[in-house]
A and B are shown apart, each in its own frame.
Chain A
Amino acid sequence: MEYIFKTNNLEKKYGNFIALNGLNMAVPKGAIYGFVGKNGAGKTTLIRHLCGLQHQTSGSFELMGVKDDDKAISKSRRRIGAVVEAPALYKDMTARDNLKQQYLTLGLPTFDGIDELLELVGLADTGKKKAGKFSLGMRQRLGIAIALCGNPDLLILDEPTNGLDPQGIIEIRELIIKLNKEKGITFIISSHILDELSRVATYYGFIDKGRIVKEMSAEELEKECRKSIRMKVSDTKVLSRVMDELGIEYSIIDDNTADIFSEVTFSKIAKDFEDAGCTIFTMDEHEESLEAFYLSLLGGIQNA
């Protein structure tokens, strides 16, 4: 797999506080990477390092194959767009002028593409209205348009739906999916709103206390969180034998608990278990939410 961004034991300390604690992550090219963690977990700190706004205490990272201590890292950054915390806007300029300003900063030879960008983010009709008078959603979309100037390969969005109304959230979500599919842009989206993230992300990185707890694809996560029937039985070894014979997919949780991933007929299962000498105590429909999965990951770390 080709990675657009990789870190190697990245560490950032503020005095005694460790914001990034030997963080290792890898963002696959073309992914919408959902960067999940509660407030203060280190999401924004990591993004600031990626963007060159902060210097790490130790460790390193690679952006598009260029190491962070290489002078060419600035050139790599020209291929990224970022909305870190709040969108960077010139509030006393119109949307069009803001984009022109970004074109000038990037040293782009012409203003071609500005109309297309305004159209793309739905701000083509804002005319002479100054960005300072825009709604939160419009500012967020303008921030994304600014980040899209120069056709970046990687877009970093830090909490992009913060403070948006439901309509704004839908618009941003659709825009992200569209840009990923049509232009092949890789996204790193940090959020603590898991439900929202689960609608767009194709890859996940779970961060807690400055460390990546787990990285997985959306498919892997779906597998972890899919619907199952949770059975409490007297012996899961016997359950394994019965399920293998029936050709039903299952996963053992502990000595007495297992999840089975198939529609089953209760009376048939009950008879098979009775024949095998195993008692069923309970059978419940079970679906692990993304939140529950995340909490179980944190629990795993905290119990380790």
Chain B
Amino acid sequence: MLRIMYSDLRRAMIDRSVKTGVLISLVYPILLYVTYLVIFKIAEFDTPVYGDELISLYVGISAFILSAIITGFVSREYTDGIIRNKIATGATRTAVFSSAAATSAVVAAVLSAISSAVIMILTFVFTPGFQNYSTREIGDYLLIMTLAEMSIAVFAAMLVMAFGNFKIALALPLGIAFLMKVLCGIVADKLYPQDGPCLLTGTRLQVYSFIDKYIPYSYVERPMPYGFFTLFMGVMGLTVISMVVGLLIFNKKDIV
């Protein structure tokens, strides 16, 4: 598997989708920071922009960016016949699938690292720093968000690898990211209403809480609502489910 992953990583370095992702993770935080400055100036706020505002800039859109990039990156393996070639020349399907998932996770980690680095530079060079977060909290947050983004990338890779014969597979990761954004928004509104207490009870409360705690798509909505271990369980859950379901389908499917 490692030899295939090495060749996949080599390809990721020159892939158009991945390059676009790198560009977005570099530029997007800067653009939003500038937008914040302009808004603060126009609204004549007398407080400066703090790092607290910047830290979740990339995370908020990361599910969409990753879904699009991983779809482009992995689906090209299908359209260019690369997957066919790997299997025809003796690579096992398990190795091919695992390598695609692992490479997608690495791409997600790199994009997350780039955006985090840009945000940290902006924070420490242009703002007074963080107002409400300790260094440890920031470290935990960046780590768990990176892991959440990696698990979302693995999930997107699984969808494309498992259903890559169908054109619909190309829309699935982005479609699911969009649906999860809407769902997680609704869940957050119900669990943490802005005016008054949460009115959910019974099974509904349990289901909403489960989504909030264990679905990594909800993590990228707001900073660290639960402890590190709870969030880590969600990340691992999505990754393991993606790998198991993906391998079951990919090992059985006809590749045309």
Contact = CB atoms under 8 A, between A and B. Distances in A.
A77 B89 contact: yes
Size category of the binding interface on chain A: 35 or more
Interface residues of B, number: 26
Contacts of B244: none
A52 B88 contact: yes
A75 B85 CA distance: 15
Contact of B90 (A48, A75, A91, A104): A75
A225 interface: no
Contacts of A55: 252, 254
Contacts of A54: 254-256
Interface string B3-17: 110110011001110
Interface in A49-80: 51-55, 74-80
Contacts of A216: none
B84 interface: yes
Contacts of B195: none
Contacts, number: 86
Interface string B243-256: 00000000010111
A92 B81 contact: no
Overall SS of chain A's interface: loop
Contact of B15 (A75, A92, A106): A92
Interface in B86-103: 86-93
A146 interface: yes
Nearest to B252: A55
Nearest to A74: B90
Given A53-B256, A105-B4, A77 B10 contact: no
Contacts of B84: 51, 53, 84-85, 88
A87 interface: yes
Overall SS of chain B's interface: helix
A51 B14 contact: no
A52 B92 CA distance: 9
A82 B256 contact: no
B80 interface: yes
A102 to B, nearest CB: 8
Nearest to B4: A105
A43 to B, nearest CB: 14
A107 B252 CA distance: 25
Contacts of A80: 88-90
Given A53-B256, A101-B11, A105-B7, A88 B90 contact: no
A75 B91 CA distance: 8
B18 to A, nearest CB: 11
Contacts of B89: 77-78, 80-82, 102, 105-106, 147, 150
5 contacts: A48-B255, A53-B87, A80-B89, A90-B11, A105-B3
Closest 8 CB pairs of A and B: A78-B90, A88-B85, A88-B81, A51-B88, A77-B90, A104-B7, A107-B3, A82-B88
